[in-house]
Chain A
Amino acid sequence: EVHLVDSGGGLVQPGGSLRLSCAASGFTFSSYWMSWVRQAPGKGLEWVANIKQDGSEKNYVDSVKGRFTISRDNAKNSLYLQMNSLRAEDTAVYYCARDSYCSGGTCYFDSWGPGTLVTVSS
C-alpha cells in the first residue's frame, strides 16, 4: 500500500525559511515523479512543484520560483521542499503527492500525504 507522510510544517515569520519532508513507502519511490500541492485555509488546491524520478527535471508554479526548491533522495525514499523568503500568502497545508502520469512535466496525482500546515505570520 502506498504511504506518504509529510512533515516539517510550523509557524515561521515572513522572510523566514522552512524545510518540508515527505517519507514514502509501499512503492518504488525512484520510479515516480513526485509533487508538492498546497491548500490555503478554506481555499482550493494549487500545484506547487514537481521533480522527475532521477531529479534531473524540476518544475515550479510561478509564484514560488526562485524561493522554493524541490529535491529528493531516492536512497531514503524521501521528498523535500526547501521554502525560503516565505510570505503570508504561502500559508497553507502542503501535501506531497505521487504523480501517476505526467506529460511535459504536468501530472495528476494518485496518492497524497496527510499534509503539513505552514503558517507564515509575525
Chain B
Amino acid sequence: DIVMTQSPDSLAVSLGERATINCKSSQSVLHSSNDKNYLTWYQQKPGQPPKLLIYWASIRESGVPDRFSGSGSGTDFTLTISSLQAEDVAVYYCQQYYSAPGTFGQGTKLEIK
C-alpha cells in the first residue's frame, strides 16, 4: 500500500496569514500515461463529513474559495491557504487514488493562533 505522510500534524496560523500543509507519498502518484498526479485534498470540520477541496493535485473543486491551492508532483505535495479565515479551522487530509487501496494521510489539524 502507498503510505501518505502529512506534516505537520497540527498547525496554528494567524487570521489573514498563509497556511501550508505538506503531504508525502511513499511512491510516486504521477501516472505516466496522462501526466496527472492522483492526489486529492479534503477538509473536515468538527462533526461533519469530509469535503473535497482539490483533485488531480491542483484542480480546485467547484465552489471552493480561490484562497485554497494545491501544488506538487510525484511524491511531494502542498496545500496552501493564502489568507486564513476563521471558517478554515478544520482537519485536512490528502489521499492518493493512484493504486489500490486508496490511502489517506493521517490528517493535519489547522487552528487559529
Question: A51 → chain B, closest Cβ, in Å?
Answer: 14
Tell me if B55 counts as interface (CB < 8 A to partner A).
Answer: yes
> Is B55 in contact with A101, judged by CB distance below 8 angstroms?
yes
With an 8 Å Cβ cutoff, the count of chain B residues facing the other chain is 25
Tell me if A27 counts as interface (CB < 8 A to partner B).
Answer: no
Tell me if B77 counts as interface (CB < 8 A to partner A).
Answer: no
Tell me if A59 counts as interface (CB < 8 A to partner B).
Answer: yes
> Is B99 in contact with A47, judged by CB distance below 8 angstroms?
no
Q: CA–CA, A47 to B40, complex, Å?
A: 14
Most buried by B among A62, A101, A114: A101
| A106-122 interface bits toward B, Cβ cutoff 8 Å, 1 = contact, 0 = none | 11111111110000000
> Is A108 in contact with B51, judged by CB distance below 8 angstroms?
no
Chosen A-B contacts, 11 in total, with CB atoms closer than 8 Å, are A45-B95, A47-B101, A100-B52, A100-B55, A103-B97, A104-B99, A106-B38, A106-B98, A106-B100, A107-B97, A111-B52
